[in-house]
Amino acid sequence: MYYIVSNHFLSRTKFFFILFLIIFSTACTKKTISTKNPTIGLPNEYLDAKARIDFKNTNDDANFKVKFRQQKDKRTWATFTGALGIEGLRVVAKTDSLFMIDYLNNKYEKATFDTLAQILNFPIEYPMLQNLLMGDMPNADSTGATIEGDFIKISQKIKHISAENKLYATNKKLAELYLSDTRNQNNMLIQYSDYRPSPVKLFPFKINISVDFLNNRTKKREKTTVNMEFMYARFGNVPLEFPFVVPKSYLKNKK
Q: Is 136 helix (H, G, I), strand (E, B) or coil?
A: coil
Tally helices (H) and strands (E) across the chain. Answer: 3, 15
Length of the chain: 255
Indicate whether 72 pLDDT > 70. Answer: yes
In a 3-state reduction of DSSP, which class is residue 236?
A: strand
User: In terms of Cα–Cα distance, which of 34, 28, 8 is closest to 143?
Assistant: 34
Give yes or no for a contact between 45 and 72, defined as CB atoms under 8 angstroms apart. Answer: yes
User: Half-sphere exposure (CA, 13 Å, Cβ side) for 22?
Assistant: 26
End-to-end CA distance of the chain: 27
How far from 3 is each of 16, 55, 104, 150, 226, CA to CA, in Å? 20, 18, 8, 48, 22
Ranges of beta strands (E only) in 199-249 are 202-214, 221-236
When pLDDT is averaged across residues 166-175 and rounded to a whole number, the result is 92
User: Which is higher by pLDDT, 49 or 111?
Assistant: 49
Contact at 8 Å (CB) between 134 and 164?
Answer: no
- What's the pLDDT score for residue 63? 85
Bridge partners, 156 (sequence order): 163
Whether the model clears a pTM of 0.85, i.e. scores above it, the answer is no
User: What's the mean pLDDT when you consider all of the chain?
Assistant: 76
Residue of 23, 114, 21, 126 lying closest to 71 (CA atoms): 126
pLDDT in tens, 103-125: 888 888 887 766 665 555 455 55
Confidence at 11, pLDDT banded by 50, 70, 90: low
Rounded to an integer, the average pLDDT of 135-154 is: 85
- Which of 198, 155, 156, 152 lies closest to 174 in space, CA to CA? 152
